[in-house]
Structure formats: structure tokens, C-alpha cells
Amino acid sequence: MFRAFAARRKSDFDERHDLERLYETSRLSEYVSEGQTEQIGAAFSTVLSTWHNSQRYFDYTYLRTYFRKSGLSRGMRGDPVKAVTKQTLEAALKIVSIGEAKWTPL
């Protein structure tokens, strides 16, 4: 979603997988209400704290260990990989749903 909004603003951006730079370049917060900006900010904080690009190479065992050692699974019951992944996915989907609703009328 950030990449789509960023491409509308300028065609020659090069943020690669840097989510913070993509968010800044997209200026998504300019298209949404103040309440939605807060929702996006909270969801974005969750994504930033739970996802790093290098994790895509981690096997399941290493990912479970990573989540436990980093404290991301603290207080969660059951499988930490499922719990943190679900939390990250829900946050990302929140951003996408708000962005998608604002994309259509533009």
C-alpha cells in the first residue's frame, strides 16, 4: 500500500524494503482522517516492532527462538510464531484496508 501511494507522488523513489521510508514517501496520512492516521500509526508500530526483512529467511525453529529472545511473544499463550505472525498480519491488513478505501476515490 505504501509503495502504491508513493508511486503516485513520485515515480523515481528507491526505498526498497525500508518500511519507514516507504511510509514517509507515501504520505498516506495526508489522505486519511485524524482517527485513521492514529490507527495506521498504531498498526505501523506493530509491524515495525515485529517484522524485519531478514526474517523471511528464518526457519520455523529460529523464528520461534527469535520471537522468544526478543520478548515479542511475552504474555502470549501457545505457539509464539503463530501469535506474533497473526498480530503482524492483522496490523498490516488494517493499514491495507484503510489505504484501499482511500485509493479508490482518488
Distance CA 68, CA 56 (A): 17
> For 57-90, how does the pLDDT look when each residue is reduced to its tens digit (9 = 90+)?
999 999 999 999 989 888 888 899 999 999 999 9
Q: Which three cell numbers stand for residue 65?
A: 527462538
Determine contact, residues 21/69, Cβ cutoff 8 Å.
Answer: no
Range with the largest mean pLDDT of 25-29, 41-45, 53-57, 70-74: 41-45
CB burial of residue 105 (10 Å; 0-12, 13-18, 19+): exposed
Domain boundaries, the chain: 2-103
Share of residues in the chain with pLDDT > 90 (%):
47
The whole-number pLDDT of residue 106 equals 56
The whole-number pLDDT of residue 79 equals 92
The whole-number pLDDT of residue 11 equals 67
pTM check: above 0.85? no
